Structure 1
Amino acid sequence: MFPVTASLCSTLLFVGVFVFVSADKKTITAESGQNVTLPCRATNNNILAVEWSRANLGDEYVLLYRDGRCEPDDQHPSFKNRVDLQDRQMKDGDVSLILENVTINDTGTYECRVKTGNNRRKRTNLSGEPISIINLSVVVPPGGPVGLIVGLSVSAVLLVVAVVGFLIYRKCKQQQSQDSYQPPVEL
């Protein structure tokens, strides 16, 4: 009986691990201000709907694409006019998401779900396990806002020094020309 139990446990462990890693998981790091593509590919080309979501958005989603168009209802406001599918034709099952002008607030775990088949019944949320899970980390570029402020400050100081230097030079030239002026000798 022990070998059967061990075999069954091994099989369950294998199935559990297979189910756990079945979703495509990736980590992507991007700099603030960049456009980012979050990859997702469905195995079935008969795609009826695509949903990109993030757990911390509650009932709102990142993008819902259904019936050949993006659905704006219940889309989180921070993603409006900033997201789209990489290929709206979804050739070869490509349902990757393009996220434009990322910010630190876009950091999080994104999930891609796809509804396939012939069932045309409309549903707001696609059920089932995600086929892709992306951990997006958005960082401030090296020298980001602080570097820009420092760079502009240094430029401003150099400009002031140049202007003050020019004014001092001009004043000295005027002084020299007044000191060297000799009135004409009268006869």
Structure 2
Amino acid sequence: MAYLKKYFSIFSLFILLFVACSSDSNSNEDVANAKGVITLSGEETSILGNSLNVANAVEGLYQTGTGKSVTLLHKSIGVDSNGEINPTEASFTNSFIIVTAQFESGDNASVHKAISMTIIKNGEEYLFTCTAIEGENVDDDCGSNFLVDQENKRVVFDNTTVINTDSGKVLTMDGIITW
């Protein structure tokens, strides 16, 4: 379990390195069961499969250091009443953690949107990321229709692109997750 928590922490730190937020008054944690399927397309779907079924969503500072984040989890990764992620033995074989964030201009963030994702398939980890810097068009910018909408409790993946940090291959994500 410490192994999965270690990687979650690394990816959370990755987002924070790019975000560099100042203070955030949203310290309220929100843990909920989530509903939705993310459809995957791209070269690596032959390994990863064509979909991710999201079972839990966690909002807030506890997991990532910013209240502007939402963490989406596979069904084998539970969340306790304190907001702590509790992977099961099964999560080390097949699971995923997706950390999403979206910032407004007043948030003093160095990025506008970010995704950090770990997919574990047959015990092997696949790491993906994207960052969108306001006003810049780069290959790993997440796509223009990616939305983290905490007010309406949803994350929208609409032709959202992430890049495998090892292979450089692009994975496209589509779906709406609600909680």
- TM-score in terms of structure 2 length: 0.27
- TM-score in terms of structure 1 length: 0.26
Larger Rg: 1 or 2? 1
Higher helix share: 1
Higher strand share: 2
Which structure has more RCO (C-alpha within 8 Å, separation ≥ 6)?
A: 1
